Amino acid sequence: MKFTKMEGIGNDYIYVDGIHQNINMTPSFISHISDRHFGIGSDGMIVILPSQKYDFRMRMFNRDGSEGKMCGNGIRCFAKFVYDHQLTDQTYLEIETLAELKKSG
């Protein structure tokens, strides 16, 4: 699994491109890699996915593997990740989350 660890105002997440690779999103896997003593260490994992309605879909998982609706600090890094990894050249994005549409730009 290729990943990037990013931090935004105190929240650090493992970011993975779920468009170009299959990602294990089970709670046990996420809690294992998020473990600060035995894994990568993070507040959780954020997966970049395609969206049928918007530019991208964001799935955000907490350190225990539970899925959260959204993270403001996380979505800023999400936008930087998709731009830096050339998944888009847009500077304004509409991102699908469990908390509905979020706009970044």
Residues labelled catalytic = 71
CA 71, CA 99: separation in Å to the nearest integer?
9
Q: Report whether 35 contacts 80 (CB < 8 A).
A: no
